[in-house]
Chain A
Amino acid sequence: MITAITRRGALSILTLLLLSMVVFAGGQLLPGDVGRSILGPLADARAVAALNHQLGTDAPPALMYLRWIGALLHGDMGMSYAYRSPVAPFILHALAKSAALAAVTSVTVVPLAIAGGIIAGLNHGRWPDRVITLGGLSLTVVPEFVSGILLILVFGVWLRWLPISANTRPGTGALEQLRHLILPALPLVLILFGYIARIARAGMVEALEADYTRTARLKGLGRRSVIFGHVLRNALLPTITVIAAQTSYLLGGLVVVETLFRYQGIGSLILTAARGKDYPMMEAGILTVGLAYILSAVIADMLIAALDPRNRAGGR
Protein backbone atom coordinates (compact mmCIF):
# COMPACT_ATOMS: atom_id res chain seq x y z
CA MET A 1 0.00 0.00 0.00
CA ILE A 2 2.74 2.44 1.05
CA THR A 3 4.89 1.47 -1.93
CA ALA A 4 1.87 1.83 -4.20
CA ILE A 5 1.28 5.38 -2.97
CA THR A 6 4.98 6.29 -3.27
CA ARG A 7 5.04 4.89 -6.80
CA ARG A 8 1.88 6.81 -7.72
CA GLY A 9 3.33 10.00 -6.23
CA ALA A 10 6.61 9.62 -8.12
CA LEU A 11 4.75 9.01 -11.39
CA SER A 12 2.60 12.10 -10.77
CA ILE A 13 5.68 14.25 -10.21
CA LEU A 14 7.23 12.86 -13.40
CA THR A 15 4.04 13.67 -15.31
CA LEU A 16 4.02 17.17 -13.85
CA LEU A 17 7.66 17.68 -14.85
CA LEU A 18 6.99 16.52 -18.43
CA LEU A 19 3.93 18.74 -18.46
CA SER A 20 5.97 21.77 -17.41
CA MET A 21 8.37 21.06 -20.29
CA VAL A 22 5.51 20.81 -22.77
CA VAL A 23 4.00 24.05 -21.47
CA PHE A 24 7.38 25.78 -21.56
CA ALA A 25 8.06 24.55 -25.08
CA GLY A 26 4.65 25.73 -26.26
CA GLY A 27 4.71 29.02 -24.41
CA GLN A 28 8.30 30.18 -24.80
CA LEU A 29 10.09 28.20 -27.51
CA LEU A 30 7.44 27.86 -30.22
CA PRO A 31 6.67 31.58 -30.48
CA GLY A 32 10.35 32.17 -31.25
CA ASP A 33 11.09 35.83 -30.70
CA VAL A 34 8.89 36.88 -27.75
CA GLY A 35 9.83 40.57 -27.99
CA ARG A 36 9.01 40.58 -31.71
CA SER A 37 5.67 38.89 -31.17
CA ILE A 38 4.71 41.47 -28.52
CA LEU A 39 5.90 44.57 -30.36
CA GLY A 40 4.75 43.45 -33.82
CA PRO A 41 6.52 43.10 -37.18
CA LEU A 42 7.05 46.85 -37.66
CA ALA A 43 8.93 47.49 -34.39
CA ASP A 44 12.58 48.56 -34.38
CA ALA A 45 15.08 45.69 -34.00
CA ARG A 46 16.84 47.46 -31.09
CA ALA A 47 13.54 47.89 -29.21
CA VAL A 48 12.82 44.17 -29.70
CA ALA A 49 16.29 43.23 -28.42
CA ALA A 50 15.92 45.56 -25.42
CA LEU A 51 12.52 44.10 -24.53
CA ASN A 52 13.84 40.54 -24.89
CA HIS A 53 16.73 41.41 -22.58
CA GLN A 54 14.38 43.04 -20.07
CA LEU A 55 12.07 39.98 -20.09
CA GLY A 56 15.00 37.56 -19.92
CA THR A 57 13.82 35.89 -23.14
CA ASP A 58 17.24 36.28 -24.82
CA ALA A 59 18.81 33.57 -22.63
CA PRO A 60 19.43 30.01 -23.89
CA PRO A 61 16.23 27.89 -23.66
CA ALA A 62 17.60 25.48 -21.04
CA LEU A 63 18.56 28.39 -18.77
CA MET A 64 15.18 30.05 -19.33
CA TYR A 65 13.41 26.81 -18.37
CA LEU A 66 15.49 26.38 -15.20
CA ARG A 67 14.89 29.99 -14.18
CA TRP A 68 11.17 29.61 -14.79
CA ILE A 69 10.87 26.30 -12.91
CA GLY A 70 13.07 27.59 -10.06
CA ALA A 71 10.90 30.68 -9.63
CA LEU A 72 7.74 28.53 -9.75
CA LEU A 73 9.06 26.33 -6.93
CA HIS A 74 9.47 29.50 -4.87
CA GLY A 75 5.85 30.42 -5.59
CA ASP A 76 6.80 33.05 -8.16
CA MET A 77 4.70 32.59 -11.31
CA GLY A 78 6.40 35.48 -13.10
CA MET A 79 5.24 38.87 -14.32
CA SER A 80 2.32 39.30 -16.69
CA TYR A 81 3.32 41.01 -19.96
CA ALA A 82 -0.10 42.57 -20.27
CA TYR A 83 -0.63 43.88 -16.73
CA ARG A 84 3.05 44.43 -15.76
CA SER A 85 2.34 42.90 -12.37
CA PRO A 86 2.79 39.44 -10.77
CA VAL A 87 0.73 36.63 -12.29
CA ALA A 88 -0.06 34.74 -9.07
CA PRO A 89 -2.89 36.97 -7.71
CA PHE A 90 -4.71 36.79 -11.08
CA ILE A 91 -4.43 32.99 -11.08
CA LEU A 92 -5.69 32.66 -7.51
CA HIS A 93 -8.64 34.97 -8.10
CA ALA A 94 -9.62 33.20 -11.32
CA LEU A 95 -9.13 29.79 -9.72
CA ALA A 96 -11.59 30.68 -6.93
CA LYS A 97 -14.23 31.72 -9.47
CA SER A 98 -13.72 28.59 -11.57
CA ALA A 99 -13.85 26.44 -8.44
CA ALA A 100 -17.29 27.89 -7.67
CA LEU A 101 -18.53 27.04 -11.17
CA ALA A 102 -16.93 23.58 -11.07
CA ALA A 103 -18.47 22.95 -7.64
CA VAL A 104 -21.97 23.86 -8.84
CA THR A 105 -21.43 21.55 -11.83
CA SER A 106 -20.14 18.60 -9.79
CA VAL A 107 -22.73 18.89 -7.04
CA THR A 108 -25.44 18.80 -9.71
CA VAL A 109 -24.07 16.19 -12.08
CA VAL A 110 -22.59 13.55 -9.78
CA PRO A 111 -25.78 12.57 -7.88
CA LEU A 112 -27.91 13.04 -11.02
CA ALA A 113 -25.68 10.87 -13.21
CA ILE A 114 -25.21 8.15 -10.59
CA ALA A 115 -28.97 8.03 -10.04
CA GLY A 116 -29.44 7.88 -13.82
CA GLY A 117 -26.89 5.08 -14.10
CA ILE A 118 -28.50 3.12 -11.28
CA ILE A 119 -31.99 3.46 -12.80
CA ALA A 120 -30.63 2.43 -16.22
CA GLY A 121 -28.75 -0.52 -14.68
CA LEU A 122 -31.78 -1.76 -12.75
CA ASN A 123 -33.88 -1.55 -15.94
CA HIS A 124 -31.19 -3.18 -18.09
CA GLY A 125 -32.44 -3.43 -21.70
CA ARG A 126 -35.82 -1.81 -21.07
CA TRP A 127 -36.89 1.68 -22.20
CA PRO A 128 -35.61 3.76 -19.20
CA ASP A 129 -32.18 2.20 -19.85
CA ARG A 130 -32.32 3.08 -23.54
CA VAL A 131 -33.49 6.66 -22.94
CA ILE A 132 -30.79 7.36 -20.35
CA THR A 133 -27.97 5.63 -22.24
CA LEU A 134 -28.72 6.98 -25.72
CA GLY A 135 -29.78 10.43 -24.51
CA GLY A 136 -26.72 10.72 -22.28
CA LEU A 137 -24.36 9.59 -25.02
CA SER A 138 -25.79 12.05 -27.51
CA LEU A 139 -25.44 14.92 -25.05
CA THR A 140 -21.78 14.14 -24.32
CA VAL A 141 -20.77 15.04 -27.88
CA VAL A 142 -22.53 18.40 -28.18
CA PRO A 143 -19.98 21.21 -27.66
CA GLU A 144 -20.60 23.37 -24.59
CA PHE A 145 -21.03 26.58 -26.53
CA VAL A 146 -23.69 24.93 -28.69
CA SER A 147 -25.78 23.57 -25.81
CA GLY A 148 -25.03 26.81 -23.94
CA ILE A 149 -26.50 28.93 -26.73
CA LEU A 150 -29.60 26.73 -26.97
CA LEU A 151 -30.06 26.80 -23.17
CA ILE A 152 -29.67 30.60 -23.12
CA LEU A 153 -32.24 30.93 -25.90
CA VAL A 154 -34.76 28.66 -24.15
CA PHE A 155 -34.32 29.44 -20.44
CA GLY A 156 -32.84 32.93 -20.58
CA VAL A 157 -34.53 34.64 -23.52
CA TRP A 158 -37.72 32.72 -24.23
CA LEU A 159 -38.90 31.52 -20.79
CA ARG A 160 -36.90 34.13 -18.82
CA TRP A 161 -36.40 31.70 -15.93
CA LEU A 162 -32.67 32.20 -15.44
CA PRO A 163 -30.25 35.13 -15.73
CA ILE A 164 -28.11 35.02 -18.92
CA SER A 165 -24.99 36.50 -17.33
CA ALA A 166 -22.80 34.60 -14.88
CA ASN A 167 -21.59 37.82 -13.32
CA THR A 168 -23.31 39.56 -10.43
CA ARG A 169 -22.88 43.04 -9.01
CA PRO A 170 -20.66 43.23 -5.90
CA GLY A 171 -22.66 42.66 -2.73
CA THR A 172 -25.13 40.21 -4.28
CA GLY A 173 -26.36 37.48 -1.91
CA ALA A 174 -24.88 33.99 -2.14
CA LEU A 175 -28.17 32.45 -3.30
CA GLU A 176 -28.55 34.98 -6.12
CA GLN A 177 -24.93 34.38 -7.14
CA LEU A 178 -25.70 30.67 -7.24
CA ARG A 179 -28.72 31.35 -9.48
CA HIS A 180 -26.41 33.12 -11.94
CA LEU A 181 -24.17 30.04 -12.09
CA ILE A 182 -26.95 27.59 -13.03
CA LEU A 183 -27.06 28.39 -16.75
CA PRO A 184 -23.23 28.34 -17.14
CA ALA A 185 -23.03 25.03 -15.25
CA LEU A 186 -25.74 23.29 -17.32
CA PRO A 187 -23.70 22.74 -20.54
CA LEU A 188 -20.98 21.08 -18.44
CA VAL A 189 -23.59 19.01 -16.58
CA LEU A 190 -25.07 17.79 -19.88
CA ILE A 191 -21.69 16.59 -21.15
CA LEU A 192 -20.58 14.93 -17.91
CA PHE A 193 -23.93 13.23 -17.31
CA GLY A 194 -23.51 10.74 -20.16
CA TYR A 195 -19.98 9.69 -19.19
CA ILE A 196 -20.66 9.18 -15.50
CA ALA A 197 -24.08 7.58 -16.02
CA ARG A 198 -22.64 5.11 -18.55
CA ILE A 199 -19.98 3.86 -16.14
CA ALA A 200 -22.39 3.75 -13.21
CA ARG A 201 -24.79 1.73 -15.38
CA ALA A 202 -22.08 -0.70 -16.52
CA GLY A 203 -20.98 -1.16 -12.89
CA MET A 204 -24.58 -1.83 -11.85
CA VAL A 205 -25.19 -4.37 -14.60
CA GLU A 206 -21.97 -6.20 -13.74
CA ALA A 207 -22.61 -6.16 -9.98
CA LEU A 208 -26.22 -7.33 -10.43
CA GLU A 209 -25.00 -10.39 -12.37
CA ALA A 210 -22.11 -11.13 -9.98
CA ASP A 211 -21.96 -14.27 -7.81
CA TYR A 212 -22.07 -12.35 -4.53
CA THR A 213 -25.35 -10.73 -5.54
CA ARG A 214 -26.86 -14.12 -6.32
CA THR A 215 -25.57 -15.44 -3.00
CA ALA A 216 -27.09 -12.49 -1.16
CA ARG A 217 -30.41 -13.07 -2.91
CA LEU A 218 -30.31 -16.83 -2.22
CA LYS A 219 -29.62 -16.06 1.44
CA GLY A 220 -33.12 -14.57 1.38
CA LEU A 221 -32.17 -10.90 1.63
CA GLY A 222 -34.74 -8.46 0.30
CA ARG A 223 -34.20 -6.67 -3.02
CA ARG A 224 -33.62 -3.36 -1.25
CA SER A 225 -30.91 -4.63 1.11
CA VAL A 226 -29.22 -6.57 -1.72
CA ILE A 227 -29.00 -3.40 -3.81
CA PHE A 228 -27.94 -1.07 -1.03
CA GLY A 229 -25.73 -3.50 0.91
CA HIS A 230 -24.04 -5.44 -1.87
CA VAL A 231 -24.56 -4.04 -5.35
CA LEU A 232 -24.07 -0.28 -5.01
CA ARG A 233 -20.81 -0.42 -3.12
CA ASN A 234 -19.18 -2.56 -5.78
CA ALA A 235 -20.93 -0.95 -8.72
CA LEU A 236 -19.86 2.60 -7.96
CA LEU A 237 -16.12 2.06 -7.51
CA PRO A 238 -15.24 2.48 -11.20
CA THR A 239 -17.47 5.56 -11.27
CA ILE A 240 -15.05 7.40 -8.97
CA THR A 241 -12.21 6.88 -11.45
CA VAL A 242 -14.35 8.22 -14.26
CA ILE A 243 -15.39 11.27 -12.27
CA ALA A 244 -11.70 12.04 -11.61
CA ALA A 245 -10.80 11.45 -15.26
CA GLN A 246 -13.54 13.85 -16.32
CA THR A 247 -11.97 16.61 -14.22
CA SER A 248 -9.57 17.10 -17.12
CA TYR A 249 -12.49 17.57 -19.48
CA LEU A 250 -14.28 19.82 -16.97
CA LEU A 251 -11.28 22.16 -16.77
CA GLY A 252 -11.19 22.40 -20.57
CA GLY A 253 -14.91 22.92 -20.76
CA LEU A 254 -14.48 25.89 -18.44
CA VAL A 255 -12.49 27.72 -21.15
CA VAL A 256 -15.48 27.59 -23.50
CA VAL A 257 -18.25 28.11 -20.96
CA GLU A 258 -16.50 30.99 -19.21
CA THR A 259 -15.97 32.67 -22.57
CA LEU A 260 -19.61 32.22 -23.58
CA PHE A 261 -20.92 33.57 -20.25
CA ARG A 262 -18.14 36.17 -19.82
CA TYR A 263 -17.17 34.70 -16.46
CA GLN A 264 -13.68 35.62 -15.20
CA GLY A 265 -12.41 32.15 -14.27
CA ILE A 266 -9.18 30.30 -15.03
CA GLY A 267 -10.45 29.21 -18.45
CA SER A 268 -11.19 32.71 -19.67
CA LEU A 269 -7.93 33.87 -18.06
CA ILE A 270 -5.96 31.38 -20.19
CA LEU A 271 -7.88 32.37 -23.30
CA THR A 272 -7.40 36.11 -22.73
CA ALA A 273 -3.70 35.55 -22.07
CA ALA A 274 -3.44 33.40 -25.21
CA ARG A 275 -5.15 36.04 -27.36
CA GLY A 276 -2.92 38.79 -25.93
CA LYS A 277 0.29 36.71 -26.16
CA ASP A 278 0.74 37.13 -22.40
CA TYR A 279 2.90 33.98 -22.19
CA PRO A 280 3.75 33.96 -18.43
CA MET A 281 0.04 34.26 -17.58
CA MET A 282 -0.90 31.57 -20.11
CA GLU A 283 1.78 29.14 -18.92
CA ALA A 284 0.91 29.62 -15.26
CA GLY A 285 -2.79 29.13 -16.03
CA ILE A 286 -2.21 25.95 -18.06
CA LEU A 287 0.16 24.50 -15.48
CA THR A 288 -2.41 25.19 -12.76
CA VAL A 289 -5.02 23.30 -14.78
CA GLY A 290 -2.62 20.37 -15.26
CA LEU A 291 -1.77 20.33 -11.56
CA ALA A 292 -5.46 20.34 -10.65
CA TYR A 293 -6.02 17.34 -12.92
CA ILE A 294 -3.07 15.35 -11.59
CA LEU A 295 -4.13 16.05 -7.99
CA SER A 296 -7.68 14.91 -8.67
CA ALA A 297 -6.37 11.68 -10.25
CA VAL A 298 -4.21 10.97 -7.18
CA ILE A 299 -7.12 11.67 -4.81
CA ALA A 300 -9.35 9.34 -6.83
CA ASP A 301 -6.74 6.57 -6.63
CA MET A 302 -6.52 6.96 -2.87
CA LEU A 303 -10.31 6.97 -2.51
CA ILE A 304 -10.55 3.75 -4.48
CA ALA A 305 -7.76 2.18 -2.43
CA ALA A 306 -9.60 3.14 0.75
CA LEU A 307 -12.97 1.85 -0.47
CA ASP A 308 -11.91 -1.39 -2.13
CA PRO A 309 -11.09 -4.08 0.43
CA ARG A 310 -8.97 -5.98 -2.13
CA ASN A 311 -6.56 -3.03 -2.39
CA ARG A 312 -6.26 -2.77 1.38
CA ALA A 313 -4.76 -6.22 1.91
CA GLY A 314 -1.35 -6.32 0.18
CA GLY A 315 -1.38 -3.87 -2.64
CA ARG A 316 -0.71 -4.82 -6.21
Chain B
Amino acid sequence: MLKRLAAPGFVTGLGIVLFWVLCALFGPWLEPQNPYADDLMNALAPPSAAHWFGTDQIGRDIFSRIIAGARPILSVAPAATLLATLCGTTLGLITGYAGGWVDALLSRLIEVILALPLIVVALLVLVALGPSSLNVTVVIALVFTPIIARTVRAAVLAECKLDYVPAAQLRHEGALHIMFVEILPNILPPILVEVTVRLGYAIFTVASLSFLGFGVQPPSPDWGLAIAENYGLIVGGYGWTVGFAALATASLVVGVNMVAEGLQDALR
Protein backbone atom coordinates (compact mmCIF):
# COMPACT_ATOMS: atom_id res chain seq x y z
CA MET B 1 0.00 0.00 0.00
CA LEU B 2 2.79 2.43 0.90
CA LYS B 3 4.42 1.71 -2.42
CA ARG B 4 1.23 2.65 -4.25
CA LEU B 5 1.02 5.87 -2.23
CA ALA B 6 4.38 6.90 -3.70
CA ALA B 7 2.57 7.62 -7.00
CA PRO B 8 3.59 11.03 -8.42
CA GLY B 9 0.02 12.41 -8.27
CA PHE B 10 -0.39 11.66 -4.58
CA VAL B 11 3.02 13.04 -3.63
CA THR B 12 2.49 16.27 -5.63
CA GLY B 13 -0.96 16.74 -4.12
CA LEU B 14 0.36 16.12 -0.62
CA GLY B 15 3.13 18.65 -1.23
CA ILE B 16 0.65 21.34 -2.31
CA VAL B 17 -1.67 20.68 0.63
CA LEU B 18 1.24 20.68 3.12
CA PHE B 19 2.45 23.98 1.71
CA TRP B 20 -0.93 25.64 2.37
CA VAL B 21 -1.25 23.97 5.79
CA LEU B 22 2.14 25.48 6.72
CA CYS B 23 0.89 28.89 5.50
CA ALA B 24 -2.24 28.48 7.60
CA LEU B 25 -0.29 27.45 10.72
CA PHE B 26 2.68 29.81 10.51
CA GLY B 27 1.20 32.62 8.35
CA PRO B 28 2.05 35.51 10.68
CA TRP B 29 5.75 34.51 10.59
CA LEU B 30 5.85 34.06 6.81
CA GLU B 31 4.03 37.20 5.69
CA PRO B 32 6.49 39.92 4.63
CA GLN B 33 3.98 42.65 5.50
CA ASN B 34 0.88 43.07 7.65
CA PRO B 35 -2.00 41.67 5.54
CA TYR B 36 -4.48 44.08 7.16
CA ALA B 37 -2.42 47.30 6.91
CA ASP B 38 -3.80 49.66 4.26
CA ASP B 39 -1.67 52.14 2.35
CA LEU B 40 -3.90 54.34 0.21
CA MET B 41 -0.95 56.04 -1.50
CA ASN B 42 0.01 52.65 -2.98
CA ALA B 43 -3.49 51.36 -3.83
CA LEU B 44 -3.77 49.05 -6.85
CA ALA B 45 -0.01 48.96 -7.40
CA PRO B 46 1.02 46.29 -9.94
CA PRO B 47 3.35 43.46 -8.87
CA SER B 48 6.83 44.80 -8.08
CA ALA B 49 9.85 44.08 -5.88
CA ALA B 50 8.14 45.82 -2.93
CA HIS B 51 4.80 44.05 -3.45
CA TRP B 52 5.38 40.72 -5.21
CA PHE B 53 1.70 40.20 -6.07
CA GLY B 54 0.79 43.92 -6.14
CA THR B 55 -1.66 45.69 -3.82
CA ASP B 56 -5.47 45.80 -3.61
CA GLN B 57 -7.98 48.68 -3.63
CA ILE B 58 -6.83 50.07 -0.30
CA GLY B 59 -3.16 49.27 -0.78
CA ARG B 60 -2.92 46.04 1.24
CA ASP B 61 -0.07 43.70 0.22
CA ILE B 62 -1.68 40.88 -1.79
CA PHE B 63 1.23 38.43 -1.30
CA SER B 64 0.79 38.64 2.47
CA ARG B 65 -2.99 38.35 2.14
CA ILE B 66 -2.68 35.20 0.02
CA ILE B 67 -0.56 33.55 2.74
CA ALA B 68 -2.95 34.76 5.46
CA GLY B 69 -5.94 33.59 3.37
CA ALA B 70 -4.95 29.93 3.80
CA ARG B 71 -6.06 30.04 7.44
CA PRO B 72 -9.80 30.86 7.13
CA ILE B 73 -10.47 28.26 4.42
CA LEU B 74 -8.29 25.59 6.05
CA SER B 75 -10.09 25.97 9.37
CA VAL B 76 -13.72 26.04 8.18
CA ALA B 77 -13.56 23.28 5.54
CA PRO B 78 -11.77 20.62 7.66
CA ALA B 79 -13.96 21.45 10.68
CA ALA B 80 -17.11 20.95 8.59
CA THR B 81 -15.73 17.70 7.15
CA LEU B 82 -14.77 16.38 10.59
CA LEU B 83 -18.19 17.19 12.05
CA ALA B 84 -19.94 15.55 9.10
CA THR B 85 -17.68 12.49 9.38
CA LEU B 86 -18.51 11.98 13.06
CA CYS B 87 -22.28 12.41 12.54
CA GLY B 88 -22.34 10.58 9.19
CA THR B 89 -20.37 7.57 10.45
CA THR B 90 -22.64 7.18 13.48
CA LEU B 91 -25.76 7.54 11.37
CA GLY B 92 -24.45 5.14 8.72
CA LEU B 93 -23.53 2.52 11.33
CA ILE B 94 -26.98 2.72 12.90
CA THR B 95 -28.96 2.63 9.65
CA GLY B 96 -26.78 -0.07 8.11
CA TYR B 97 -26.90 -2.26 11.17
CA ALA B 98 -30.51 -1.60 12.21
CA GLY B 99 -32.10 -1.44 8.74
CA GLY B 100 -35.87 -1.15 8.47
CA TRP B 101 -37.69 2.18 8.66
CA VAL B 102 -34.62 4.10 9.89
CA ASP B 103 -32.93 3.05 6.70
CA ALA B 104 -35.90 4.01 4.50
CA LEU B 105 -36.17 7.42 6.16
CA LEU B 106 -32.48 8.12 5.57
CA SER B 107 -32.66 7.24 1.88
CA ARG B 108 -35.57 9.65 1.41
CA LEU B 109 -33.74 12.39 3.31
CA ILE B 110 -30.70 11.95 1.08
CA GLU B 111 -32.86 12.18 -2.04
CA VAL B 112 -34.36 15.48 -0.86
CA ILE B 113 -30.98 16.93 0.01
CA LEU B 114 -29.50 15.84 -3.30
CA ALA B 115 -32.45 17.41 -5.18
CA LEU B 116 -31.12 20.83 -4.27
CA PRO B 117 -27.68 22.10 -5.21
CA LEU B 118 -25.41 22.36 -2.16
CA ILE B 119 -24.93 26.10 -2.68
CA VAL B 120 -28.70 26.66 -2.69
CA VAL B 121 -29.26 24.65 0.51
CA ALA B 122 -26.46 26.62 2.13
CA LEU B 123 -27.98 29.94 1.00
CA LEU B 124 -31.38 28.92 2.37
CA VAL B 125 -29.96 28.23 5.83
CA LEU B 126 -27.42 31.06 5.89
CA VAL B 127 -30.03 33.69 5.01
CA ALA B 128 -31.96 32.62 8.10
CA LEU B 129 -29.00 32.17 10.45
CA GLY B 130 -26.82 34.97 9.13
CA PRO B 131 -23.42 34.61 7.44
CA SER B 132 -20.55 33.53 9.69
CA SER B 133 -17.78 30.93 9.68
CA LEU B 134 -19.54 28.88 12.35
CA ASN B 135 -22.81 28.79 10.40
CA VAL B 136 -21.00 27.84 7.19
CA THR B 137 -19.33 24.97 9.07
CA VAL B 138 -22.65 23.75 10.44
CA VAL B 139 -24.49 23.99 7.10
CA ILE B 140 -21.83 22.08 5.17
CA ALA B 141 -21.66 19.43 7.91
CA LEU B 142 -25.45 19.14 7.81
CA VAL B 143 -25.50 18.47 4.06
CA PHE B 144 -22.48 16.13 4.08
CA THR B 145 -23.73 14.01 6.99
CA PRO B 146 -26.30 11.95 5.02
CA ILE B 147 -23.89 11.62 2.08
CA ILE B 148 -21.18 10.15 4.32
CA ALA B 149 -23.82 8.08 6.11
CA ARG B 150 -24.77 6.50 2.80
CA THR B 151 -21.17 5.41 2.09
CA VAL B 152 -20.78 4.05 5.63
CA ARG B 153 -24.13 2.26 5.41
CA ALA B 154 -23.11 0.46 2.21
CA ALA B 155 -19.85 -0.65 3.85
CA VAL B 156 -21.71 -1.83 6.99
CA LEU B 157 -24.15 -3.88 4.91
CA ALA B 158 -21.22 -5.66 3.25
CA GLU B 159 -19.55 -6.32 6.62
CA CYS B 160 -22.75 -7.73 8.16
CA LYS B 161 -22.60 -10.61 5.68
CA LEU B 162 -19.19 -11.69 7.02
CA ASP B 163 -18.94 -14.35 9.73
CA TYR B 164 -17.54 -12.18 12.49
CA VAL B 165 -20.76 -10.16 12.90
CA PRO B 166 -23.12 -13.13 13.52
CA ALA B 167 -20.36 -14.60 15.70
CA ALA B 168 -20.38 -11.50 17.87
CA GLN B 169 -24.18 -11.58 17.99
CA LEU B 170 -24.07 -15.21 19.18
CA ARG B 171 -21.66 -14.14 21.92
CA HIS B 172 -24.46 -11.74 23.01
CA GLU B 173 -22.36 -8.65 22.42
CA GLY B 174 -24.37 -5.42 22.58
CA ALA B 175 -25.38 -3.65 19.35
CA LEU B 176 -23.20 -0.64 20.23
CA HIS B 177 -20.20 -2.90 20.82
CA ILE B 178 -20.71 -4.67 17.48
CA MET B 179 -21.16 -1.43 15.57
CA PHE B 180 -18.26 0.57 17.01
CA VAL B 181 -15.76 -2.09 18.13
CA GLU B 182 -16.32 -4.93 15.65
CA ILE B 183 -17.48 -3.25 12.42
CA LEU B 184 -16.04 0.29 12.54
CA PRO B 185 -12.31 -0.66 12.42
CA ASN B 186 -12.97 -2.79 9.35
CA ILE B 187 -14.64 -0.02 7.34
CA LEU B 188 -12.10 2.72 8.07
CA PRO B 189 -10.50 2.65 4.57
CA PRO B 190 -13.69 3.59 2.64
CA ILE B 191 -14.47 6.22 5.29
CA LEU B 192 -10.99 7.71 4.88
CA VAL B 193 -11.44 7.97 1.10
CA GLU B 194 -14.89 9.52 1.50
CA VAL B 195 -13.49 12.06 3.98
CA THR B 196 -10.76 13.26 1.62
CA VAL B 197 -13.24 13.52 -1.26
CA ARG B 198 -15.66 15.46 0.98
CA LEU B 199 -12.84 17.74 2.13
CA GLY B 200 -12.32 18.76 -1.49
CA TYR B 201 -16.01 19.58 -1.88
CA ALA B 202 -16.04 21.40 1.47
CA ILE B 203 -13.22 23.67 0.31
CA PHE B 204 -15.09 24.19 -2.98
CA THR B 205 -18.25 25.19 -1.11
CA VAL B 206 -16.59 27.35 1.54
CA ALA B 207 -14.76 29.29 -1.19
CA SER B 208 -17.96 29.70 -3.24
CA LEU B 209 -19.96 30.90 -0.22
CA SER B 210 -17.25 33.45 0.61
CA PHE B 211 -17.41 34.66 -2.97
CA LEU B 212 -21.21 35.03 -2.73
CA GLY B 213 -20.87 37.02 0.51
CA PHE B 214 -22.32 34.37 2.81
CA GLY B 215 -19.07 33.11 4.30
CA VAL B 216 -16.34 34.88 6.26
CA GLN B 217 -16.79 38.62 6.33
CA PRO B 218 -14.34 41.48 5.60
CA PRO B 219 -11.59 42.33 6.42
CA SER B 220 -10.67 38.63 6.40
CA PRO B 221 -7.92 37.86 3.84
CA ASP B 222 -10.01 34.89 2.58
CA TRP B 223 -9.36 34.15 -1.11
CA GLY B 224 -13.01 33.88 -2.16
CA LEU B 225 -13.79 37.14 -0.41
CA ALA B 226 -10.82 38.83 -2.12
CA ILE B 227 -12.20 37.78 -5.50
CA ALA B 228 -15.69 39.02 -4.59
CA GLU B 229 -14.32 42.40 -3.48
CA ASN B 230 -12.10 42.96 -6.51
CA TYR B 231 -13.49 41.19 -9.57
CA GLY B 232 -15.18 44.38 -10.75
CA LEU B 233 -11.68 45.76 -11.31
CA ILE B 234 -10.77 43.18 -13.98
CA VAL B 235 -12.11 45.39 -16.77
CA GLY B 236 -9.80 48.17 -15.59
CA GLY B 237 -6.80 45.86 -16.07
CA TYR B 238 -6.13 45.19 -12.36
CA GLY B 239 -6.03 41.40 -12.87
CA TRP B 240 -3.50 40.78 -10.08
CA THR B 241 -6.11 41.71 -7.44
CA VAL B 242 -8.02 38.49 -8.22
CA GLY B 243 -5.67 36.32 -10.30
CA PHE B 244 -3.40 35.19 -7.45
CA ALA B 245 -6.32 34.43 -5.14
CA ALA B 246 -7.88 32.34 -7.94
CA LEU B 247 -4.62 30.45 -8.50
CA ALA B 248 -4.24 29.83 -4.76
CA THR B 249 -7.77 28.41 -4.46
CA ALA B 250 -7.34 26.29 -7.58
CA SER B 251 -4.03 24.84 -6.36
CA LEU B 252 -5.51 23.93 -2.97
CA VAL B 253 -8.59 22.13 -4.36
CA VAL B 254 -6.57 20.32 -7.03
CA GLY B 255 -4.00 19.31 -4.38
CA VAL B 256 -6.67 17.88 -2.07
CA ASN B 257 -8.24 16.09 -5.02
CA MET B 258 -4.91 14.50 -6.01
CA VAL B 259 -4.48 13.24 -2.45
CA ALA B 260 -8.03 11.83 -2.50
CA GLU B 261 -7.43 10.09 -5.83
CA GLY B 262 -4.10 8.68 -4.62
CA LEU B 263 -5.69 7.31 -1.44
CA GLN B 264 -8.53 5.78 -3.43
CA ASP B 265 -6.09 4.01 -5.77
CA ALA B 266 -3.91 2.81 -2.90
CA LEU B 267 -6.79 1.44 -0.82
CA ARG B 268 -8.62 -0.23 -3.68
Contacts and interface: CB of A to CB of B under 8 A. Distances in A.
Interface stretch (A79-87, A166-174, A217-225, A246-254): A246-254
B6 interface: no
A290 B115 contact: yes
Interface in B196-249: 200-201, 204, 207-208, 211-214, 224, 227, 231, 234-235, 237, 239, 242-243, 246-247, 249
A271 B123 contact: yes
Contacts, number: 148
Contacts of B204: 141-143
Contacts of B213: 275
B250 A147 contact: yes
Contact of B111 (A15, A26, A134, A149): A15
A31 B227 contact: no
Contacts of B200: 141
Interface stretch (A89-97, A121-129, A150-158, A203-211): A150-158
Interface bracket on A: 35 or more
B250 A274 contact: no
Interface in A2-60: 11, 14-15, 18-19, 22-23, 26-27, 30-31
A88 interface: no
B116 A164 contact: no
Contacts of A138: 254, 257-258
Interface stretch (A68-76, A255-263, A299-307): A255-263
A157 B233 CA distance: 11
A118 interface: no
Nearest to B205: A143
Contacts of B235: 157, 164
Contact of A18 (B108, B126, B237): B108
B112 interface: yes
Contact of A150 (B125, B208, B214, B247): B247
A143 B253 contact: yes
B212 A256 contact: yes
A113 interface: no
Nearest to B240: A153
A146 B206 CA distance: 13
B160 interface: no
B207 A143 contact: yes
B45 interface: no
21 contacts: A14-B108, A18-B108, A19-B112, A134-B9, A141-B200, A141-B204, A145-B207, A146-B227, A146-B249, A149-B227, A150-B243, A152-B234, A157-B234, A157-B237, A248-B117, A249-B117, A252-B119, A274-B214, A282-B123, A289-B117, A289-B120
Interface of A: 11, 14-15, 18-19, 22-23, 26-27, 30-31, 134, 137-138, 140-147, 149-150, 152-153, 156-158, 164, 248-249, 251-253, 255-256, 259-260, 270-271, 274-275, 277, 282, 286, 289-290, 293-294, 297
Given A144-B208, A260-B231, A286-B120, 11 more contacts: A11-B111, A31-B127, A141-B256, A142-B253, A143-B204, A145-B224, A149-B242, A248-B117, A253-B117, A282-B124, A289-B120
